[in-house]
Amino acid sequence: MDLPKGKSQRLAALFLLGNLLFNYPLLALFNRASLVFGIPVLYAYVFAAWILLIALLVLVVEKR
């Protein structure tokens, strides 16, 4: 399965973004003892970042 060059570069960029979002320095910023809509801030951040990456992945893969 050969991907166009632009699509493979976007997928690599999404991989790097995912590594950045789920790496120590950013996770430590959200490790607080407060709540957002009744959910701990760290859990809300991880869930939001995960949804963002999935949405971006869908946009890259489904784009013709």
Residue spans per domain, the chain: 5-62
Contacts 24+ apart (CB under 8 A), 22-27: 22/46, 22/49
Per-chain mean pLDDT for the chain: 93
pTM beyond 0.85, yes or no: yes
The answer, yes or no, to whether residue 63 has pLDDT greater than 80, is no
Angle at 44 between CA 40 and CA 47, to 5 degrees: 140
For residues 14-31, give the mean pLDDT: 96
Spell out the residues 6+ positions from residue 43 whose beta carbon is closer than 8 angstroms to its own.
none
